[in-house]
């Protein structure tokens, strides 16, 4: 069978066009696959980024919560109350000694007067580290509040707490008295920061 020359030419053109279209479709298909792979990778990267942001946000909120708890604990353990409601008869600082005429001494706390046996309260939450009797301070309670703070309650008439007991702010710990070296019924109250006496007035509401 003889194919006319013009028809053979047309078939060749059609074949070339078909091959060109097929190649173009193949190239576009491959490009589409590559593009989809890039989109999937970008989507995965975005998902990972969002996941990391969620984790970071959760960790940040946990840290903020921990800081708030620490602040609440510090507030609870920092002395801020009066151990008794009575009148302050002697302040922190240099004063005339009540035992020797003309002599001066440094008073390391404040003296608060009241009735014998009147309740004395803990001015902050802490642990009782001393509940003893001394010659000068008489019956004395010392509470460790942490963060460097300790408080002293002296010349008591009784103990309502024991050594090692955890007490909360405002809890009754003993009674006002005149034990030790005193001139009358009162409580000698001290606040110490890292062992150094500081003015208790600054730590009273």
What is the residue-wise DSSP string for the chain?
Answer: -PPPHHHHHHHHHHHHHHHHHHHHHHHHHHHHHHHHHHHHHHHHHHHHHHHHHHHHHHHHHHHHHHHHHHHHHHHHHS--S-SSSS-EEE-SEEEE-TTSTT-EEEE-SEEEE--TT-EEE-SS-EEEEEEEEETTTEEEEEEEEETTEEEEEEEEEEESS-TT-EE-TT-EEEEEB--SS-SSSEEEEEEEETTEEE-GGGG--
How far apart, in Å, are the Cα atoms of 178 and each of 92, 150, 171? 19, 22, 21
Average pLDDT of span 158-175? 97
pLDDT band at 59 (very low <50, low <70, confident <90, very high): confident
Global confidence as pTM:
0.69
Query: What pLDDT is attached to residue 8?
Result: 65
> Using an 8 Å Cβ cutoff, are 87 and 112 in contact?
yes
Query: What pLDDT is attached to residue 4?
Result: 55
User: pLDDT at residue 194 above 60?
Assistant: yes
User: pLDDT at residue 3 above 60?
Assistant: no
pLDDT band at 138 (very low <50, low <70, confident <90, very high): very high
Residue of higher predicted confidence among 103 and 22:
103
Query: What pLDDT is attached to residue 30?
Result: 66
Instruction: Identify which of 28-42, 56-70, 139-153 has the greatest average pLDDT.
Output: 139-153
């Amino acid at each position: 069978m003889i194919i006319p020359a013009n028809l053979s030419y047309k078939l060749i053109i059609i074949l070339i066009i078909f091959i060109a279209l097929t190649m173009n479709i193949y190239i576009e298909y491959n490009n589409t696959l590559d593009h989809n792979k890039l989109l999937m990778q970008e989507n995965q990267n975005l998902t990972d980024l969002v996941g990391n942001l969620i984790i970071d946000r959760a960790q940040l909120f946990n840290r903020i919560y921990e800081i708030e708890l620490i602040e609440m604990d510090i507030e609870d353990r920092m002395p801020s109350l009066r151990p008794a409601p009575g009148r302050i008869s002697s302040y922190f600082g240099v004063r005339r000694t009540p035992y020797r005429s003309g002599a001066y001494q440094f008073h390391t706390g404040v003296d608060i007067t009241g009735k014998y046996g009147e309740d004395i309260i803990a001015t902050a939450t802490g642990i009782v580290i001393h509940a003893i009797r001394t010659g000068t301070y008489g019956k004395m309670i010392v509470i460790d509040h942490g963060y460097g703070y300790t408080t002293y309650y002296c010349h008591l008439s009784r103990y309502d707490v024991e050594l090692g007991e955890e007490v909360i702010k405002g809890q009754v710990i003993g009674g006002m008295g005149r034990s030790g070296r005193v001139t009358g019924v009162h409580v000698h109250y001290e606040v110490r920061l890292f062992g150094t006496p500081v003015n208790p007035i600054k730590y009273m509401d």
